[in-house]
Amino acid sequence: MIEAALAARGRTGELLTCRPEELARVATEAAATAVARGTSVIAVGGDGSLNTVAQAAHAAGCAMGVLPYGTFNYFARTHAIPTEPAAAMRLLLDARPMPVQVAAINDRVFLVNASLGAYPELLQDREAYKARFGRSRCVAFVAACATLLRAQRRLRLHIEMGATVRDVQTLTLFVGNNRLQLQQFGAEPQDTLAGTPGDGSMAALMLRPIGTLSMIGLMLHGAMGRLGEAAGVESFEFHHMVVKPTLAPGRREVVVACDGEVARMHAPIDIRVLDKPLYLLQATGEAGSADAPEAAP
């Protein structure tokens, strides 16, 4: 489909396929090639795969396009990229690079969200459920419920946001860089900073330790898109946050999730909106600055 669409418009491109463990290397090489040729890289996949390609494109300074092929596709949908592959490909052929906000947790770029605590566990459980029952939003929801009902491990966090310092206990700290996802949760924070999550700021959600009945109520609120109304959920906007978790003796790392991919990172955890944007191929409008990379020929 991709090669046929390019040929129909008299365009050329190099189609690269790889195993998941090779994606970071292939993306880095592709981004370097794109910079040398004055073209762009196109990522095909869900938010986790897009994250890996975005790391390389952002570091190299080349434009990036998206062909969404995931379960939720929050990043693509936020930027009006069709989730149907043929329509997305047609858009890319006429697209121009425009700057979009990206964030970082320590040195890792993320597009949609990052988290500590129960949410990374939820993602690991979700992959196990999908491997057994297939990839669908229903399966993802059932996996989330199963994880939350047995969530017991409390995080003790020391949080610094400029002059504001807090010590909290929470089951999970979830950071959102995507307004669409927050809206679907019903968990947009009160507007306290300029811009909105994903466009000027980020949102943080904390789930305080609660009992089983309260957890069931929370899941029902989430299913109805009213998570922000549930007891035990706190949300707020921020630009930069440093999180220092209390770790067991001998431990230096904490499990985190970035755009659906789980990893380990050394504490403290630094989460911030990046000054340097990612240049995303989009259908309308003009590039955000004269220094924006050119679109792929």
How far is it, in rounded angstroms, from Cα 72 to Cα 137? 8
pTM, rounded to two decimals = 0.82
Mean pLDDT of the chain: 84
Name which residue leads in pLDDT, 247 or 296: 247
- Residues with Cβ within 8 Å of 93's Cβ and at least 6 positions away in sequence, in order, are 5, 6, 9, 11
Domain ranges of the chain: 2-102+276-282, 109-116+153-273
Name which residue leads in pLDDT, 136 or 6: 6
Q: Grade residue 146 by pLDDT with cuts at 50, 70 and 90.
A: low
Q: Do 72 and 83 touch, CB atoms closer than 8 A?
A: no
Residue 224 has pLDDT above 70, yes or no: no
198, burial (CB in 10 Å: exposed 0-12, middle 13-18, buried 19+): buried
137-149 and 212-223 are packed helices; what angle lies between their axes, rounded to 10 degrees?
Answer: 160
Show the tokens assigned to 31: 């981004």
Assign domain 2-102+276-282 to its CATH architecture. 3-Layer(aba) Sandwich (3.40)
Q: Grade residue 210 by pLDDT with cuts at 50, 70 and 90.
A: low
Residue 10 has pLDDT above 90, yes or no: no
Instruction: Give the pLDDT of residue 117.
Output: 84
CATH no. for 109-116+153-273: 2.60.200.40
